[in-house]
Chain A
Amino acid sequence: GEDVEQSLFLSVREGDSSVINCTYTDSSSTYLYWYKQEPGAGLQLLTYIFSNMDMKQDQRLTVLLNKKDKHLSLRIADTQTGDSAIYFCAETSPRGNLIFGKGTKLSVKP
């Protein structure tokens, strides 16, 4: 079945780059997503990448997709304390609903 794996924790210093990694199983996923959850809130879409793309850049965010290895990464440049949150990777199931990973908690130290 579909499965999305990501590490649970990442700690970085303010100003450094953060890289959050994810592996997925469904090679037929049309889109792959990154969602962000701030404390006490629901998830919000951060960015997504179409499956025929290798890279997508949006300001401080860079998404890299390696379809061969089914590996997705999110790089946050110049990480700020406001980036502290849980980041979820998600793939699309054959039924069209999203399958989320367990989330990576990013802690940014001043």
Chain B
Amino acid sequence: NAGVTQTPKFRVLKTGQSMTLLCAQDMNHEYMYWYRQDPGMGLRLIHYSVGEGTTAKGEVPDGYNVSRLKKQNFLLGLESAAPSQTSVYFCASSQTSGADTGELFFGEGSRLTVL
């Protein structure tokens, strides 16, 4: 049972390039999330999804887009990367929301550097 898998694990981009991070979960979870983790800033929610075909903005959505075409996958896109998007990105999934002890299961993270 793989849990939550993120690809790629590492990527270096030049300013202005685009890329997509893929998150896949095999637990049939309804909810999926994308967070970024920066030193001294903790985890900040970028976008999330409460089910297949749905997406919603989190705390820091600007510069990112997401899609949830299949229940098991949640894609995070950067259309025109900026150095401020250098970060470690974490995907997470849960069966229910945090209001119902919805335990989040995290991937191992994707380290993105934008030069």
Chain A residues close to B by CB (< 8 Å) = 8, 30-31, 33, 35, 40-45, 48, 88, 90, 92-93, 95-103
Q: Could you list 11 further interchain pairs (A-B, Cβ under 8 angstroms) beyond the known A43-B92, A97-B33?
A: A33-B98, A40-B108, A43-B43, A96-B100, A97-B45, A99-B45, A100-B43, A101-B42, A102-B41, A103-B42, A103-B43
Number of B interface residues, CB 8 Å?
25
Q: A42-B4, A42-B90, A43-B43 are in contact. Are A48 and B48 (CB under 8 A)?
A: no
The yes or no answer to B51 lying at the interface (CB within 8 A) is no
Shortest Cβ distance from residue B51 to the other chain A in the assembled complex, whole angstroms: 12
Residue of A nearest to B50 (CB): A96
Residue of A nearest to B41 (CB): A102
Rounded to whole angstroms, the CA-CA distance of A30 and B97 in the bound complex is 11
Indicate which residue in A8, A88, A92 contacts B40 across the interface (CB closer than 8 Å): A8
Please give, as numbers and ranges, the residues of chain B lying within 8 Å of A97 by CB-CB distance. 33, 45, 48, 58, 97-98
Indicate which residue in A30, A42, A48, A100 contacts B42 across the interface (CB closer than 8 Å): A100
Q: Are A31 and B106 in contact (CB under 8 A)?
A: no
Task: Report B78-115 residues with CB < 8 Å from chain A CB.
Answer: 90, 92, 97-104, 106-109
Please give, as numbers and ranges, the residues of chain A lying within 8 Å of B102 by CB-CB distance. 96
Please give, as numbers and ranges, the residues of chain A lying within 8 Å of B58 by CB-CB distance. 97
Q: Are B90 and A43 in contact (CB under 8 A)?
A: yes
Q: A92-B98, A103-B42 are in contact. Are A45 and B33 (CB under 8 A)?
A: no
Residue of B nearest to A103 (CB): B42
Q: Are B98 and A41 in contact (CB under 8 A)?
A: no
> Top 8 A-B pairs ranked by shortest CB distance?
A42-B106, A96-B97, A102-B42, A92-B98, A100-B43, A98-B98, A96-B99, A45-B103
27 contacts between A and B (CB under 8 A): A8-B40, A30-B98, A33-B98, A40-B108, A40-B109, A41-B109, A42-B90, A42-B92, A42-B107, A43-B43, A43-B90, A48-B103, A88-B42, A92-B97, A92-B98, A95-B56, A96-B98, A96-B100, A97-B45, A97-B97, A97-B98, A100-B35, A100-B42, A102-B41, A102-B42, A103-B42, A103-B43
